[in-house]
């Protein structure tokens, strides 16, 4: 969606933010990202704050509300949410500023142990029962092979999108950001999602699967569950690449197909 600067927000909205943060001395629009109508780092009387927001009538506003609802349940590897405002046609989140860089997933990268530690921390979190978030069985219903959906069910809190843009390296640790799709499901789903992104970064499929095996949830999952995940992931990315033939999406579809073949063989 198109992005505006902080100064272009309605005056009432800017004042409501200042009421939370103290006077705003400077606002710098953040580069990158496609899913926020505003994304700015504010220098305020109470310190730096990252503000992201979306028009309240936008079709994706529900995703931002889910992100806000689940924030209190997230581990320390995730940025702290200070506040959530909805007024004058905007839904806005105020976050802790993470001064970091995107993770490097390349083979041998020193970031990999940090990413592993962050995901291991998340693996210990149970999805909150009182928050309306997506169910893994629903998200993968159209893609999983018949008779396999029960394998996706579980109580773990899942991120599901480990694109390097969603992992910041700062202060010697990995921080998981962008919680637009928090999901309740089987714990092994996140290691599988990360494995595909490792393949995108140049890891051989066997090495990516071995990395997923660092997590007990993956090691203890039935082989038929992992095979179903591979098949479902390949189907999903085949659909994505079919709808938009961007080079990177076609490449992801090819990597997902490779992952599916190996996981199916390992049954």
Give the per-residue pLDDT at 181: 86
Helix (H, G, I), strand (E, B) or coil at 13: helix
Give the per-residue pLDDT at 33: 58
257 burial class (0-12, 13-18, 19+ CB within 10 angstroms)?
middle
Element (H, E) at 42: strand 38-44
From 4, 33, 40, 17, select the one nearest 86 (Cα to Cα): 17
The pair of structure tokens assigned to 209 is 């699967």
Given pLDDT bands bounded at 50, 70 and 90, which one contains residue 113? very high
Give the per-residue pLDDT at 154: 97
pTM of the entire predicted model: 0.90
């Amino acid at each position: 969606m198109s992005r505006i600067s902080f100064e272009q927000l309605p005056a009432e909205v800017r004042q409501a933010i200042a009421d939370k943060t103290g006077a705003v001395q400077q606002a710098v629009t953040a580069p990158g990202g496609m899913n926020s109508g505003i994304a700015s780092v504010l220098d305020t009387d109470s310190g730096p704050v990252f503000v992201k927001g979306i028009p309240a009538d936008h079709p994706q506003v529900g995703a931002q509300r889910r992100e806000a609802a689940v924030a209190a349940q997230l581990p320390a590897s995730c940025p702290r949410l200070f506040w959530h405002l909805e007024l004058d046609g905007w839904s806005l989140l105020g976050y802790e500023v993470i001064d970091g860089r995107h993770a490097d997933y390349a083979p041998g990268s020193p970031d990999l142990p940090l990413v592993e530690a962050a995901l291991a921390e998340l693996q210990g979190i149970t999805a909150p029962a009182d928050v309306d978030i997506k169910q893994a069985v629903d998200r993968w219903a159209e893609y999983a092979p018949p008779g396999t959906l029960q394998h996706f069910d579980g109580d773990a809190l899942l991120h599901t999108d480990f694109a390097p843009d969603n992992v910041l390296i700062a202060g010697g640790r990995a921080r998981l950001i962008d919680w637009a799709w928090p999901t309740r499901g089987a714990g092994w789903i996140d290691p599988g999602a990360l494995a595909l992104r490792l393949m995108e970064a140049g890891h051989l499929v066997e090495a990516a699967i071995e990395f997923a095996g660092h997590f007990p949830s993956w090691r203890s999952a039935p082989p038929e569950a992992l095979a179903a995940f591979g098949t479902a992931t390949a189907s999903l990315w085949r659909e994505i690449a079919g709808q938009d033939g961007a080079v990177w999406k076609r490449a992801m579809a090819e990597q997902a197909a490779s992952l599916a073949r190996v996981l199916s063989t390992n049954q």
